[in-house]
Each structure stands twice: as structure tokens, then as C-alpha cells.
Amino acid sequence: MDELEERLLAELRRYAANRLKDVARGAETRELAGLLVEKYGYGLAKALAIARELAGEPGVDLAREIERVVLEVDPEAVEHRSRRWDAAPAGLSLPPRRV
């Protein structure tokens, strides 16, 4: 694992830890936190793939590590992902505005 890959995975873990803090204080559900971590992780993976391509280096698949971190945040992520796809179009359920 090269330094850039290590740093990106450390950044993903830091982000996941912050999402878990938000879950613990009641600001997010595990489902939302897991989705945010997943999307952030795949964005980091895409950036790494582009950087490696530009450097003429072989690509790296971070999907397994991303999924591991997502499951730490939301142990039911696979089920939640399936339910989101089944509920197309997916949306956010927000509480009414407080006046």
C-alpha cells in the first residue's frame, strides 16, 4: 500500500469516526451515516484511481476496505442499500421546520 492510499484510508476512517460521533449524539441515524461514509469513500477511491492513472501506475480497488468501514458505521448497510434501491426515487425524510 502506498502512502497516498494509506492517507486516503486514514481520512475515510477519520470521517467515519466523526459520523459515529454524530450517531452517538443523536444527530444522524446509522443508516444515514453509513450512506455518507460510503459515498465519501467511493469519492476518495475515484480520486485515487485518477491520480494513479495520471502517474501511469496500476489501479487499486478499495471497495472491500470501504465496505468494511461502512459496516462499522452501519452494520445493516447491505439491507439499507437494498431498501434504498427498492424505494426509487430515494429521498430524505425531514422533520417539519421549527418556527
44 lies in which domain range?
A: 3-86
In a domain, 56, yes or no: yes
In a domain, 97, yes or no: no
In a domain, 74, yes or no: yes
Residue 91's pLDDT band (cuts 50, 70, 90) = confident
**What's the rounded Cα separation, in Å, for the pair 48 and 40?**
12
Q: Supply φ then ψ for residue 47, to 5 degrees.
A: -60, -40
Structure confidence at residue 1 (pLDDT): 56
Model pLDDT for residues 13-40, shown as the tens digit of each residue? 999 999 999 999 999 999 999 999 999 9
**What's the rounded Cα separation, in Å, for the pair 82 and 86?**
6
Report the number of distinct structural domains present in the chain. Answer: 1
**What pTM was estimated for this model as a whole?**
0.88
In a domain, 94, yes or no: no
